[in-house]
Amino acid sequence: MSRGMNTLLVVNAGSSSLKFCVYSIDEASAPTLVARGQIDGIGTRPRLRARDAGGATLADQTFAAGEVADVAAALDRVGVWLRQKYARSNLVAVGHRVAHGGPRYSAPVLVDATVLTALERFVPLAPLHQPHHLRPMRTLAERYPGVVQVACFDTAFHRGHPEVADRYALPDDLYKEGVRRYGFHGLSYEYIARRLPAVAPDIARGAVVVCHLGSGSSMCAIKAGRSVDSTMGFTALDGLPMGTRCGQLDPGVVLYLLTEKGYSAKDVEQLLYQRAGLRGLSGISNDVRDLLASEDPRARLALDHFVYRVAREIGSLAAAMNGIDAVVFTAGIGENSPEIRARVCARSSWLGLDVDEAANRAGGPRISWPRAPVSAWVIPTDEEGMIAEHTLEAWRAHEGRRSHAHDGVPEPAA
């Protein structure tokens, strides 16, 4: 990267890890990836690793637990590394992945105290993610108040759904309070929708089911580039079984656990978020790779259930669009497991899916035969790249307003 260049940072914080990407930016071009890294083992065995855009190692450092005890300390370590590596670069903006934007936020937004307060209210809707996504914002606001921060929401891409798709059959006052189906992984789906015209132009304006399959899994019906419906709802628990999350569940099960089994609300939360899904079904692991390698019947059951639910939801989402032209696999499992892709497509062959085994093993992008009525694709997602694009757009707009203000032109009302 050239010295003196403006840079943009993308941050994705978890409970014990901090992922980051560094992009160079200018006035006109798209953001250019410079480095990608993470600090994991925060508070236990902290390790900072980073690679450049070509995959070459830039950093691999370990620290004592007390040196990186929390996310704020991890941000400091990343900041020190950035200043050492890119001494004359100018950090102008930070983009954050935020799990839940609630009914209020349908697009990326500049972060200020009011926004942070509003996002706090959505913590109960995404308890595994939201608190960790908000911590870096507060830390950066305190330590680097001049840097523009942008919140990019996993729910925003789905906000154009028709009301009939977002409603639960509950009283209207609850809907108005925000009890509705939101959908998640929107940054991933938005990225795929933007990539389709280049990768698969014949289906870009058609009816596509995108399968974001990873530790957290969901699926989305996209028609003409817009989200029509999603398997996730009010929280990121709904829909498919995931690594440790239950997926779709009769709410009567929760009532049973509370009234007959003596579970507390916290016990139920811990069960449904941490002890369910593939881990709960198999009793072995939440990692598909471990389950594929295991001969234990419980591992087979967990994978059979996962494949069954993915195939079932393909049919459901096809119905939501009145038809289907293609299926796209993305995220960790979707991009890297030919076996899961093949099994899902075999269960969905009634729709017209017909997988080319060699193309599937090679990873695509197209993994179906040309004659197949419904095509199948593998398209790697890039949520960080999507966040970088949104952050750059917001920063440019912010700079434009500042320029107008300095010229004596009043800024437009918010």
Answer yes or no: same fold for 6-153+385-406 and 201-381.
yes
Task: Give the distance from CA 143 to its chain's centroid.
Answer: 27
- Give me the tens of pLDDT residue by residue for the chain, a chain 414 residues long: 445 688 999 998 887 888 999 999 887 788 999 999 999 999 899 999 999 999 999 999 999 989 999 888 998 899 899 889 887 788 889 999 999 998 889 999 999 999 999 999 999 888 888 998 999 999 898 888 888 999 999 999 999 899 999 999 999 999 998 899 999 999 999 999 999 999 999 999 999 999 999 999 999 999 999 999 999 999 999 999 999 999 999 999 999 999 999 999 999 999 999 999 999 999 999 999 999 999 999 999 999 999 999 999 999 999 999 999 999 999 999 999 999 999 999 999 999 999 999 999 999 999 999 999 999 999 999 999 999 999 999 999 888 776 666 555 444 433
173 is known as an active-site residue: no
Contacts of 304 (CB under 8 A, 6+ apart): none
Rounded to the nearest 5 percent, the helix, strand and coil shares of the chain are: 40, 20, 35
In the chain, domain spans: 6-153+385-406, 201-381
pTM equals 0.91
Q: Which residues of 105-116 are buried (b: 16+ CB within 10 A; e: fewer)?
A: beebbbbeeebe
Helices assigned H by DSSP within 241-349 = 251-259, 265-274, 277-282, 288-293, 297-320, 331-336, 338-347
- Amino acid identity of residue 201, one-letter, is P
Answer yes or no: are the C-beta atoms of 314 and 351 closer than 8 Å.
yes
Strand-pairing partners, residue 355, are 368
Answer yes or no: are the C-beta atoms of 140 and 75 closer than 8 Å.
yes
Q: What local confidence, expressed as pLDDT, does residue 86 receive? A: 87
CATH placement of domain 201-381 = 3.30.420.40
Cα–Cα distance for residue pair 230/237, rounded to 1 Å: 12
- What is the CB neighbour count within 10 angstroms for residue 84? 9
Find the catalytic residue in 52, 70, 154, 172: 154
> Coil, strand or helix: which one is 52?
strand
Tokens standing for 67? 């040196």
SS (H, E, C) 323-373: CCCEEEEEHHHHHHCHHHHHHHHHHCHHHCECECHHHHHHCCCECECCCCC
Q: What local confidence, expressed as pLDDT, does residue 301 receive? A: 98
Mention the CATH class of domain 6-153+385-406. alpha beta
Contacts of 400 (CB under 8 A, 6+ apart): none
Tokens standing for 351? 């729709």
Q: Do the strands 17-25 and 6-13 form a parallel or antiparallel pair, or are they unpaired?
A: antiparallel
- Amino acid identity of residue 248, one-letter, is Q
